[in-house]
Amino acid sequence: MTALIETRKLFYRYSRRGVVLDKVDFTLYPGERVALTGANGAGKTTFLHLLVGLKKAKGGEVHAFGQLRNEEKAFVEVRARAGFLFQDPDDQLFCPTVLEDVAFGPLNLGKSRDEALQLARETLASLGMEGFEERVTHQLSGGEKRMITLACVLAMKPDVLLLDEPSNALDTEARRRLLDTLKSLPHAMIIISHDDEFLRELETRRVRLSDATLVEESIQQGVAVITDAEVA
């Protein structure tokens, strides 16, 4: 099976925070849903940013969709094929209305106005968010904002989803809805989260970022440890 995204000896250092990624090797295969955990400030978000070229690696290589990506130009295609869901939905929704926001990505990919609108409507409908087209983005609730940002990303027809704490600040119902939606999607995913239950329902594999390296964790073991802790 060919890898969708692969990093080789990826290295990143902040001038104040120090090294957050030290020669990290990671591979994402089709159909995988990888949970990425780690302490606050461990560098999880940085890792995702490096994958789509929002930050430039200080060393190592990023291979995505069969090619080495090492410059801004090469990352443009990666961003189109790897949908990135940001931590704060407000950062992602910047158009006045929902429909414009969802159509923004497809238009950037060169779709015509009608195609983009069609695609946006279909995507909203597929997420059960029809009727939100003309709503004003900053007046939505947290859960609605989250679903709309997901629609924004899915409208670009990506192969991979990169989710940065998607269940943050969602109430039980909105969280359930997001979970069910994500479970029904065929995309390969990398999910950053501190929400263990959320991850347990989704993950096919779990890696933990600690001391600037990625450690593979077996899911069963993870569950066992948590159960012990709960009992104690």
Partner 1 sequence: MPQFLEHSGTSWKGQRLKHAQSPIDRIDPRVRVIVAFLFALVVVSSSRFSVLLAGLGTALLLAGLAHLNFKRTLRRVVAMDMFMIFLVIMLPFTTPGEALFTLAGIPASTEGMMHAFQIALKANAVVLCLLSLVGTMSATTLGHALARLHVPDKLVHLLLFTVRYLDVIGQEYKRMRRAMQARAFVLRSDRHTWCSIGYLVGMLLVRSLERSERIADAMKCRGYNGRFYLLDEMVLTRPDFVFIPLCTLVLGALTGLSFI
Interface residues with partner 1 (CB under 8 A) are 49, 52, 54, 76, 79-80, 83-84, 86, 88, 90-92, 94-97, 99-100, 103-105, 107-109, 113, 116-117, 137-138, 152-153, 156
CA geometry: angle 192, 197, 201, nearest 5 deg: 85
Q: How far is CA 59 from CA 9, 55, 62, 228, in A?
A: 7, 12, 10, 39
Name the nearest CA neighbour of 181 among 218, 206, 135, 144. Answer: 144
Minimum CB separation of residue 82 from partner 1 in Å reads 8
Minimum CB separation of residue 219 from partner 1 in Å reads 29
Minimum CB separation of residue 157 from partner 1 in Å reads 12
Nearer to partner 1, 104 or 222 (CB): 104
CA atoms within 13 A on the CB side of 223: 11
As a whole number of Å, the CA-based R_g of the chain is 18
Minimum CB separation of residue 123 from partner 1 in Å reads 13
Nearer to partner 1, 105 or 222 (CB): 105
Nearer to partner 1, 27 or 97 (CB): 97
Beta-sheet strands, E only, within 65-181: 67-69, 82-85, 160-164
